[in-house]
Amino acid sequence: MPPRSYQLLLLLLLLLLVELACVAVAARSEGEEHAACAAANRTDAARLRADRLTVILTGYSERRLPLLRAIAGAYAEHPLVLAVVLLWCNPSTPDRLLLRGRGGIGFPPRVAVRRAASASLNSRFLPRPSDVRTAAVAVVDDDVLPDAAALSFAFATWQQHQRPAAGPGPLVGFFPRSHHLDLARGRWAYTAAQPGRYSMVLTKLMLLGTDLLRTYSCSPELAAARAVVDRERNCEDILMNFVAAEASGAGPVLVEAGGVRDWGDPRNDAGAGGGRGGVRDVGLSATGGLGHWEKRGRCITVFHRLLGRMPLRYSYGKVVEATTGEQGLCSKGGRLVRCDHE
């Protein structure tokens, strides 16, 4: 066989293997989704506790496991947190490494470790009736930790914005983003929070009603949008902002209180343990550069097209007086300061 034909055959075989792997992942994801939605349909919402909070942590990178154990333990000690669920989305991680670690130090007893059936980012919004017994959940990344006062204030804000007779309340978060119509390109763009307004909050730290998990994961109308999340390996938080805005008819609520340590922010200096090869560089936004923002703009455009409407709503204020910029704390020059502090 000529070398060129041999190379072409290898390429075709590689593409076939990739396609088969994608089909297998999709099948596992759909099976997990079906089981979760069936269980959620049997949940009595009236029995969910409104005075406590469930934290759902999502992890994938084995390099972040030591940090993740410390973060999970801190959440578990908070008096308002009823349960902490660690959703581990890396199927190749051995149980001995995940559960016990290289030093034999595992997760605290109040942290439930659950393996996702696939690496789908949609998994972080699956309804989990056996683990979630509260009316509110905090969906958080594995490199962000609010102090006790910040989490308490965010939860109180979420409670104040609930309207039992009018459906779910808005999302509550600390990290704002926005969208705007790029007229020159004929598409939506994803941006940092614009001066005075924002339309999304990130899952770096997002509080939402448990019922929104079922809407996101189980609505047939959102199946094509969830497939976009799987294909892009991105944008699940944007889709949840779509879902919440549609359900509440309102934009998200930005809060500021206490401090929020953000190890994943690229503005950490090298001494933060987050330089090259550190925990900072394994996140989607840290590794994607400008392409990450472009991809998320495309997601907004595609979600709009698939749904046939634009539910995102702008919000124009914060619950408390706040400084400009985000509230994450970064390490700079050996000190913890706000990440946007020069």
Enumerate the active-site residues: 237
For residues 170 and 161, the answer to whether their CB atoms sit within 8 Å is: yes
Structure tokens at 138: 């905090």
Question: 118 with 91: CB under 8 angstroms?
Answer: yes
- What's the rounded Cα separation, in Å, for the pair 163 and 195? 29
How many Å apart are CA 264 and CA 142, to the nearest integer?
9
235 contacts: CB under 8 Å, gap ≥ 6: 121, 228, 229, 295, 296, 299, 303
CA atoms within 13 A on the CB side of 174: 28
Alpha helices in the chain (DSSP H): 3-40, 65-76, 95-99, 148-160, 210-218, 223-232, 236-248, 284-288, 290-307
DSSP letters along 16-35, please? HHHHHHHHHHHHHHHHHHHH
* Distance (Å, whole) CA 179 – CA 185: 14
